[in-house]
């Protein structure tokens, strides 16, 4: 019988998602990675296996709520259950610019993926975790990856920032609901992280980081975020739930 806990990570094929899969494997998890695209999944699989875990990839769009049941069935079957869900999949603004020109399509896309998808997938996973006979091969947890933009306003990508603020509240309400069930819920707020999402504006961020955008004057790396998520999923902070963990080099600290 497999006694390794298992985690489902959305947005798993690259960036923070891939780093999270690898970090979870290093902490003893088998990993199911889900993503709307398949490109990069093989590389994630190889690195998870090198870190000591087994990996299964499932192609799925979390914005499609009617596909959540099939996704969970396949993820549950892969390793005989789930002890952790990492809601990492997310999208940015369709176009950075004046918030007076934000379109309903860009707003809806941000909220459908970043908020609605994560909310209902978490609901679906929680119900399965609480059903009779669900395995408990370790501590159980849900992790939401929001953003420094959960509290820091960025008018040039207002729909993204608003959606991440909503993710923060979703994490808190699930934390309250699931605490008595022994399921911890955590929020991760990455700052400026070197990923494909930030690549188009990397030059501008290089200048701002050098000028002191964050007290720790370097890019955040996907591994910084992945290791934080794995620490929480492994139960290293057993008396914490509903907290927001900043992985941002101190970006959130107010200065006068």
Domain count, the chain: 1
pLDDT of residue 198: 79
- pLDDT tens figures, 103-123: 999 999 999 999 999 999 999
| Catalytic residue from among 57, 76, 160, 245 | 160
Q: What is the pTM of this model?
A: 0.96
H/E segment holding residue 145: strand 140-145
Annotation marks residue 160 as catalytic = yes
> Is 84 part of any domain?
yes
Alpha helices in 8-117 (DSSP H): 15-26, 41-50, 68-79, 104-111
> Is 204 part of any domain?
no
> Is 160 part of any domain?
yes
Which residues are CB-contacts of 14 (< 8 A; sequence separation ≥ 6)?
40, 44, 195, 196
Domain span at residue 112 reads 6-195+222-247
- pLDDT tens figures, 32-47: 999 999 999 999 999 9
> Is 255 part of any domain?
no
Q: Kindly give the parts of the chain with pLDDT less than 70.
A: 1
pLDDT of residue 227: 98
Neighbours of 43 (CB within 10 A): 12
pLDDT of residue 1: 58
Q: Supply the CATH number for residue 89's domain.
A: 3.40.50.720
| Helix (H), strand (E), coil (C) string for 4-35 | CCEEEEECCCCHHHHHHHHHHHHCCCEEEEEE
> Is 148 part of any domain?
yes
> Is 238 part of any domain?
yes
How far apart are the C-alpha atoms of 48 and 19, rounded to whole Å?
9
> Is 202 part of any domain?
no
> Is 206 part of any domain?
no
């Amino acid at each position: 019988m497999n006694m390794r806990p298992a985690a489902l990570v959305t947005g798993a094929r690259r960036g923070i998602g891939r780093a999270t899969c690898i970090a979870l494997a290093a902490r003893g998890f088998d990993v199911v990675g889900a993503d709307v695209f398949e490109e990069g999944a093989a590389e994630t699989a190889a690195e998870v296996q090198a870190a000591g875990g087994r990996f299964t990839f499932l192609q799925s769009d979390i914005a499609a709520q009617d596909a959540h049941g099939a996704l969970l069935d396949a993820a549950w079957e892969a390793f005989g259950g789930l002890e952790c869900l990492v809601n990492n999949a997310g999208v940015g603004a369709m176009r950075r610019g004046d918030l007076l020109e934000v379109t309903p399509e860009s707003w809806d896309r941000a909220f459908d993926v970043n908020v609605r998808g994560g909310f209902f997938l978490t609901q679906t996973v929680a119900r399965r975790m609480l059903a009779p006979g669900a395995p408990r091969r370790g501590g159980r947890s849900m992790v939401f990856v929001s953003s420094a933009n959960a509290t820091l306003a960025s008018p040039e990508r207002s729909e993204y920032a608003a959606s991440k603020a909503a993710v923060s509240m979703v994490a808190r309400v699930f934390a309250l609901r699931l605490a008595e069930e022994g399921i911890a819920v955590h929020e991760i707020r990455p700052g400026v992280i070197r990923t494909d999402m930030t690549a188009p504006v990397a030059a501008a961020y290089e200048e701002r980081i050098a000028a002191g955008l964050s007290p720790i004057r370097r890019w955040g790396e996907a591994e910084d975020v992945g290791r934080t998520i794995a620490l929480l999923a492994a139960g290293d902070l057993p008396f914490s739930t509903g907290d927001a963990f900043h992985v941002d080099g101190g970006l959130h600290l107010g200065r006068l």
